[in-house]
Amino acid sequence: MKALIMLLSLAILPSFMVAQGGQNVQENDQIRAQRGAYITQRLNLSSQEAAHFWTLYNEYEEQKIAINESFNNRGNRPQSEAEAEDLVQRFFQKEQDLLDAKKEYFRRLQEKIPSRKLVKIPQAEREFRRDLPRQLRQRQQRGTRG
């Protein structure tokens, strides 16, 4: 099982590569690989399920980023009531777009992965984010000792 998780982590890592230099990219890639292994293990995905899951998960993550960026790149603070109203409407449209993307993502996942596994996704993501600061501290401590 550990070999499958490591293989899967290495397989999904290239899809996370970003055209940036420096240590932060390496750390981000390591964190993403750890997240991949954690979620795969937590959902108890078979190798076929994991391949399907991570293809769609990465696609969904890119879609979420694009939706959020489209909302964030539209200017600063509203100067008038009309601009504020437009901002509110765009916010709700962004939230609707995110919800529609999530529904489509789960619909496509259900084609190959049982729902009993899919319902664990939000909890697994929360647990990983909750444990991440501890993991980073431990890595820093190991780095300063060695």
Give, as one character, the DSSP assignment of residue 112: T
- Range of the structural domain that residue 23 is part of: 2-145
This prediction has a pTM of 0.69
Domain count along the chain? 1
Is-contact 4 47, C-beta < 8 A? yes
Q: What is the pLDDT along the chain (146 residues), one digit of tens a residue?
A: 444 444 344 444 444 444 444 555 666 888 888 889 999 999 999 999 999 999 999 999 999 999 999 887 566 788 899 988 998 999 999 999 999 999 999 999 999 999 999 999 999 999 999 988 887 788 788 877 65
What tokens were used for 48?
């076929």
